[in-house]
Chains A and B, each alone.
Chain A
Amino acid sequence: MRRGAKTLRQIVARCAGVAHVSTASRIALRDAADAAAEFPISTLYFGGSTPEPLHFAAPESTMTRAPLLLALLIATLPAAAAEKGDAAAGKTKVYTCSGCHGITGWKNPYPNYHVPKIVGQNYDYLVNALTEYKKGERAHPTMRAQGESLSDQDIRDIATYLSSLAP
């Protein structure tokens, strides 16, 4: 398919507008858009079973920049998609959590308050909370110990599973 008179800036800006792209990726995309300036890619070929060689109508100096910018654009997208973890793996990893968070009305002996309900909680909040326990930025001793035993992947898997259960 041959694209119309679109600039790289427009395409990058469109990618940045897609939902679920993280803030960091959005910033990277915006920077890429700025760097791309008004570089015309109206003569680029995309897709098709027998792709023709790329033709650049742009001057030589911008030709060398184009693959680099496209690579940057592609590199930022999978990072955004990989943010969430594996819900099925999370379901296995919450086994330990259920010792306290699986008993309705359970209270910690000390400090004495109800263990929070975590099923159906929001994804980013869960990731942040577990990461804060892991780093010791939240004081709770039991949760700090639990957090230390979790990898970043474990945290993403658990948060994905718990947040997926919201009614």
Chain B
Amino acid sequence: MKRLIVSLSITTLALAAGTASAKGDIEAGKAKAVVCQACHGADGNAVDPQYPRLAGQYHDYLERALHEYKTGERKNPIMAGFVTTLSDQDIENLAAYFSSLPSKLTDLHGRVQGD
């Protein structure tokens, strides 16, 4: 019985983690992402250094950034134009899509002088 409870709670936790990282619809995001490709690259790894790489970035950070462009908390004339056409659902889908792509991005773990 104890074992069952433990395994059930592990399953629940795993499911919760799974849903938290994939809130949006990846396929719908992919369809919306066609216009993004011109600057952010066909695979989300922008080649032009002035545009950020999006592939594999955290989905909630991408969502947040898009919302900030929408509210004007982040000011960028190019992005301001694009986000006006996006609904909250579109933003979730786009974030799910780009975060699912193979990434060149990592964190700073073990990358600091003296590490």
- A residues whose Cβ falls under 8 Å from a Cβ of B: 91-92, 94-95, 97-98, 101-104, 106-107, 111, 113-125, 128-129, 132, 137-139, 163, 165-167
Contact = CB atoms under 8 A, between A and B. Distances in A.
B108 A113 contact: no
A121 B50 CA distance: 10
A109 B49 CA distance: 30
B43 interface: no
Nearest to A163: B49
B51 A122 contact: yes
A95 B57 contact: no
Given A94-B111, A122-B50, 12 more contacts: A95-B114, A102-B110, A107-B60, A119-B107, A119-B108, A120-B104, A120-B105, A120-B106, A122-B53, A138-B73, A166-B104, A167-B104
Q: Is the interface of B mostly helix, strand, loop or mixed?
A: loop
A113 B57 CA distance: 12
Contacts of B3: none
Contacts of B52: 121-122, 125, 129
Contact of A98 (B48, B53, B111): B111
